Amino acid sequence: MSNPQIPVGDAGAGASLGQIFQQAQQMQAALISAQEELAGARVDGTSGGGLVKATVNGGGELVDLTISREAVDPEDTETLADLVLAAVRDATTNAHRLAAERMGSLTGGLGGPGATSSPAGIGGASSGLGGLGALGELFGGGGGSAAGGQIPR
């Protein structure tokens, strides 16, 4: 079905679509590069004035945990557990912030309010991008949409 608002055979429209396609491909490449960079990033979080330090990767996965001797009281394991949780949450929050900054600068806010609220999936083509992963399918990258479905062509 043709759109009556777009003149058929308009050479200028084809050039504009080609430019849009090229820009979308460039954005997709930049997003993939940023995702790879984030996957390798290490982000720290602390609690108890530095008594517990947690390190997560850019995907929010815990990769290291350091507990100082001063934090360990065999009679009070609940406080230690709280410190560990707080440090992990701090590191995860910092990973979310890093992902939001990196992806937000590339997408110009196109992902919407929750665009990077899930760094656990940053390595995936669609997660954390507010549906921009669908660009991969649209332009042959096979990324998949944020809902996991396919975009009709």
Q: 130-140 as b/e, with b when 16 or more CB fall inside 10 Å?
A: bebbbbbbeee
For residues 118-146, average pLDDT: 37
Task: Identify which has the larger pLDDT, 132 or 73.
Answer: 73
In this structure, what token pair is assigned to residue 125? Answer: 């083509």
Put the strands of the sheet holding 52-57 in their side by side order. Answer: 42-47, 52-57, 62-67
Residue whose tokens read 């815990």? 62
144: pLDDT strictly greater than 70: no
What is the arithmetic mean of pLDDT over 60-83?
94
Across the range 101-111, mean pLDDT stands at: 72
Q: Where are the domains of the chain?
A: 36-108
pTM for the whole structure: 0.56
- Residue pLDDT, tens place only, 48-65: 999 999 999 988 899 999
For residue 114, the model assigns a pLDDT of 46
Element (H, E) at 57: strand 52-57
Is the alpha carbon torsion for 86, 92, 95, 97 positive or negative? negative
Predicted pLDDT at 84: 96
Buried b (16+ CB within 10 A) or exposed e, 99-120: bbebbeebbeeebeeebbebbb
Q: Which fold has domain 36-108?
A: Ybab; Chain: A; (3.30.1310)
Residue 106 sits at the vertex; the CA angle it makes with 124 and 110, to the nearest 5 degrees, is: 85
Distance CA 137, CA 25 (A): 11
Place 132 in a pLDDT band, splitting at 50, 70 and 90.
very low
* pLDDT surpasses 50 at 123: no
Give 27-47 pLDDT, tens digit per residue: 888 888 888 888 889 999 999
CB atoms within 10 A of CB 8: 8
pLDDT digits 0-9 by tens, 13-30: 556 888 998 988 988 888
pLDDT of residue 113 exceeding 50, the answer is no
pLDDT value at position 142? 39
